[in-house]
A and B are shown apart, each in its own frame.
Chain A
């Protein structure tokens, strides 16, 4: 609990910095810092698999892709000039934030064993996955065995992303 509050403050700071900074390359690096901080938060909350994915994809691969994209741009393209925020956004954003906070008050407490998420089907997985699949890591057992069709479709999505990037970005030399 002692580390969570500073991490959350740092998370908000990096998120704001990535939006407010003038140079896009700086923004990319601050975004990488944001992902890494988010990974630390996931790890503290006990979701190690999510933290691993966030650290590797958000702080690693996405940063590389952003940088490779920015290398193709000129310096005048990466300097952003922002118009001042319209008054409707200034009015609407606090209202939405208050609504979200109001909604979050009704969420079950963190780690509550009586919450719907922990009573519906999670106990079945937790109790049976080792006997049924021989896999001690429940997350992998769920992703790859119980929910393998979802994972297959996710893999198809990644495959499609690769093909779409190749089709859109590669021009000439047919």
Chain B
């Protein structure tokens, strides 16, 4: 387990920076269809903000439970992406051909728009959770080595 940081300055600054970073990550994720950015970058920014939160504010849950939950989230991101492709299959088209997303009231371009948005959320969830889980794995290796030998 990572303890909370001692310094008041670091914790206060973290409380200010972390929400802004998460908001920016989400903005990059949603805005990826109009400007630079997208699922991958947004996910990485979200992951960085969450790693910052873990490092500054500490983590109060035992390792195994948290990492298991985190890895399940990893699968959810992939499932969203592949699930959109599966919905296209169900709608009667090819895998990941968003034209066949059966959403009533939308023309072809809008269906593609929705498909791109959904898959970007999938990529972002996958990337963010992977980043956090790698960071947790790296820092939990630290704890096992702190046990004195002999």
Query: Do A and B form a real pair?
Result: yes
Question: Please, which residues of chain B bring their CB within 8 A of the CB of A48?
Answer: 36
Whether, in the assembled complex, A21 has its beta carbon less than 8 Å from a beta carbon of chain B, the answer is: no
7 A-B residue contacts at CB 8 Å? Answer: A52-B41, A57-B44, A72-B142, A133-B113, A151-B81, A162-B74, A170-B140
In the A-B complex, the 8 residue pairs with the smallest Cβ-Cβ separation, listed nearest first, are A162-B130, A134-B109, A133-B112, A169-B137, A134-B113, A68-B138, A48-B36, A144-B116
Interface size of B by CB at 8 A reads 58
Q: Which residue of chain A has the shortest Cβ distance to B117 in the bound complex?
A: A144
Question: Please, which residues of chain A bring their CB within 8 A of the CB of B62?
Answer: 173
Q: Which of B3-11, B12-20, B45-53 contacts A (4 or more CB under 8 A)?
A: B45-53
Q: Which residue of chain B has the shortest Cβ distance to A51 in the bound complex?
A: B36
Partner among B77, B95, B116 whose Cβ is within 8 Å of the Cβ of A145: B116
**Are B78 and A156 closer than 8 Å at their CB atoms?**
yes
Whether, in the assembled complex, B33 has its beta carbon less than 8 Å from a beta carbon of chain A, the answer is: yes
List chain B positions with a Cβ less than 8 A from chain A.
28, 32-41, 44-45, 47-48, 51, 62-64, 67, 71, 74-75, 77-78, 81-82, 85, 95-96, 98, 108-110, 112-113, 115-116, 119-120, 122-123, 126-127, 129-131, 133-135, 137-142, 144-145
